[in-house]
Every structure is written in structure tokens, then in C-alpha cells.
């Protein structure tokens, strides 16, 4: 199994999800909130993994 953690700025979460959905991922793949100051979400994370060379 291979995995990757993808991070997008919070302002680009919707376009990042649209790209992921176009690749066959869930429509809300970037759903892990990342907070730089403990209060405001600055980025969104996505963990993608591959099983037998098929990304999910």
C-alpha cells in the first residue's frame, strides 16, 4: 500500500475537491482541517492511498 497526504489552502478547498472528484475520489476528500494558530482553519488535508496501484 502506498499513501500520500495532500494539503490545499482553505481558500482552494472547493476546487481541490472538484479535481479529486473528477479523478474518481469522494466529493469531499479534503476534509481534514489544519489550523496554524489553533483557531482558524488555514488549510485542508486529504489522505489518499493506493492498493494494488489503484489510487483511492
* Average pLDDT score, the chain: 84
- For 15, the domain range is 2-55
> Is a pLDDT exceeding 70 seen at residue 50?
no
Tell me the C-alpha distance between 19 and 13, whole Å: 10
CB 8 within 8 A of CB 47: no
Tell me what percent of the residues of the chain surpass a pLDDT of 90: 41
**Which tops the pLDDT comparison, 24 or 9?**
9
Residue 56 banded pLDDT, cuts 50, 70, 90: low
Number of domains in the chain: 1
Strand pairing partners for 33?
A: 44
The pLDDT, as a whole number, for residue 48 is 74
Amino acid at each position: 500500500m502506498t499513501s500520500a497526504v495532500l494539503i490545499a489552502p482553505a481558500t482552494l478547498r472547493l476546487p481541490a475537491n472538484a479535481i479529486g472528484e473528477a479523478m474518481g475520489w469522494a466529493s469531499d476528500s479534503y476534509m481534514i482541517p489544519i489550523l496554524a494558530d489553533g483557531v482558524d482553519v488555514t488549510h485542508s488535508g486529504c489522505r489518499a492511498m493506493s492498493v494494488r496501484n489503484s489510487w483511492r
